[in-house]
A and B are shown apart, each in its own frame.
Chain A
Amino acid sequence: MSNEELTERVRRIIATAQHLPEEKVTADSSFAELNIDSLDGINILFAVESEFNINIPDEAAQSIRSVRDVIDGIAKLLAEGPGGNKEPVRA
């Protein structure tokens, strides 16, 4: 997947989860600018995990504060191979 495609998919997921027009969500938007609070944040990560079939560890999740953090985090997990990471999560 190209970086552009990944960025577009993340923007779409966040726009859908937050009920925002997609053009408002840019790769450079911070969660604070988009009014994304802690509960919105974990809800977005849930949508991201489902979309890309990855598992984002809690500790990594805590440092995500922007759209760019989400994109970079997914790219890293996808690079680690199918399933996203080595966490023993099957369900």
Chain B
Amino acid sequence: MNRRVVITGVGVVCALGHNSQDFWKALSEGRSGIAPLESVEPGLLRFQNGAEVRNWDSLRYFDEKEAGMLDRFAQFGVVAAREAVADAGIEWTPELREETAIVTGSCVGGQGAEDEGFVNLYRKNIPRVSPLTIPRTMENAAASRISLEMGIVGPTYTVSTACSSSNHAIGQAFWMVRSGAARMAIAGGSEAVFSLGFLKAWEAMRVVSPDTCRPFSKDRRGLILGEGGAMLVLEPLESAQARGARIYGEVVGFGMGSDAFHITQPSADGAARAMRAALADGGLRPEDIGYINAHGTATQANDATETAAIRKVFGAQAGRVQVSSTKSMHGHTLGAAGALEGVATALALHHGILPPTANYNEPDPACDLDVIPNHARQAQVEYALSNSFAFGGLNAVLAFGCARR
């Protein structure tokens, strides 16, 4: 028997703040966290801006030994999970620890840790690499640390599907809770992208904007990379109600698929298929959807293709759906994108406010949707989608419902 699955806790670390309140405040004010890069020396890259987590003092959250064991990406994931669990007011019992799942997403894991070890080896001719490089680099470092710290012994794993990682992670966790395979889940993802080697590779891809991130705007010039982590606590509606938990919203559907088209070019058919699958999984019709948190990377290709995909799914109703890309504020956090955007979508339904597409200048006929330009809107929608479309052609879409509907 399928259960209804609700979100009872959220946690966020990103360029907009180190907790979900600061995150939501910035999103609802349409304030962008994109700024000149601090972690990379100026002049080394063709692009200058990013959405970095500022003033991150790991010793505020971890003792020295713990901090040394955890790459920045894992720290973001752990701190977000702590906030989500505290926010949900979870009281652990041995049974609950046995039946809770942890599913996280990450595209590249501990880039910083790997870089550090390899710079010593390749450049400084130091013939030893720290053994901690292995546990710090692994993509599951955040999931494992959350498990260790909270004593959670249920199904724990990490999904790595580039920019769709977190949506796949949340979708898998949702299905586990819905089917009863898990009694609760902590799901989301984290990423720390600002290591020089990785940034040089993004530079060579020629998709990073030299100024800022302007999704769906005619003058968009590419994506802006961001870092951070976000986690959601998912549990069955009945148990959340029984313990009197605050319910932010419901996860109602998950759809995924592969383009089988091209390794980096997007496909409107593949994106549309994943949106339709999420609707079908949640028993929803296109007309039920009032808001879409778009993948909206601000590359020429994504935004036009995503618009075409939305038109395929929503047909004549596409103009009625309100769409925004919050990447314009927190940047493209790759494997953490779905987690940040899932929290943004849940909070939008909870507060009755739709976050805008910031930095928007000019309508593009190829992106002729209502993209909520620059200013948040008061609007209580019942259902929303959150899209993630990855390099490699892997698409994952979540459907959320308002708790008060």
A38 touches B200 (CB 8 A): no
B205 touches A42 (CB 8 A): yes
Q: Which of A19-27, A54-62, A67-75 contacts B (4 or more CB under 8 A)?
A: A54-62
Partner of A89, one of B46, B205, B222, B262: B46
Contact with B along A47-91 (1 / 0, CB 8 A): 000000001011001100000000000000000000000011111
Nearest B residue to A55 via CB reads B46
Report B203-258 residues with CB < 8 Å from chain A CB.
204-206, 210, 221-222
Q: Does B45 have its Cβ within 8 Å of any Cβ on chain A?
A: yes
Q: Does B44 have its Cβ within 8 Å of any Cβ on chain A?
A: yes
A42 touches B204 (CB 8 A): yes
| CB-defined contacts of A38 to chain B, threshold 8 Å | 264-265, 301
Sort chain B's interface into a size bin: 10 to 19
Q: Does B365 have its Cβ within 8 Å of any Cβ on chain A?
A: no
Bound CA span A46–B202, Å = 12
**Shortest distance between the CB of A61 and any CB in chain B (Å):** 6
Bound CA span A90–B40, Å = 13
B265 touches A89 (CB 8 A): no
Nearest B residue to A42 via CB reads B206
Sort chain A's interface into a size bin: 10 to 19
Q: Does B263 have its Cβ within 8 Å of any Cβ on chain A?
A: yes
A89 touches B206 (CB 8 A): no
A39 touches B206 (CB 8 A): no
| CB-defined contacts of B131 to chain A, threshold 8 Å | none
| CB-defined contacts of B94 to chain A, threshold 8 Å | none
Bound CA span A91–B210, Å = 17
| CB-defined contacts of B265 to chain A, threshold 8 Å | 37-39
| CB-defined contacts of A45 to chain B, threshold 8 Å | 206
B44 touches A90 (CB 8 A): yes
User: Are A39 and B263 CB-contacts (below 8 A) given A58-B206, A58-B210, A91-B200?
Assistant: yes
B43 touches A89 (CB 8 A): yes
B43 touches A88 (CB 8 A): yes
A89 touches B264 (CB 8 A): no
B206 touches A61 (CB 8 A): yes
Seen from chain B, the residues whose Cβ lies within 8 Å of a Cβ on chain A are 42-46, 196, 200, 204-206, 210, 221-222, 262-265, 301
- The 4 A-B pairs at the shortest CB distance, nearest first, are namely A88-B43, A39-B264, A91-B44, A58-B206
A-B contact pairs, 25 of them (CB 8 A): A37-B262, A37-B265, A38-B264, A38-B301, A39-B262, A39-B263, A39-B264, A39-B265, A42-B204, A42-B205, A42-B206, A45-B206, A57-B46, A58-B206, A58-B221, A88-B42, A88-B43, A89-B43, A89-B44, A89-B45, A89-B46, A90-B44, A91-B44, A91-B45, A91-B200
Q: 10 more A-B contacts (CB under 8 A) besides A58-B206, A87-B46, A91-B200?
A: A37-B262, A39-B264, A46-B204, A55-B46, A58-B210, A61-B206, A62-B206, A89-B46, A91-B45, A91-B196
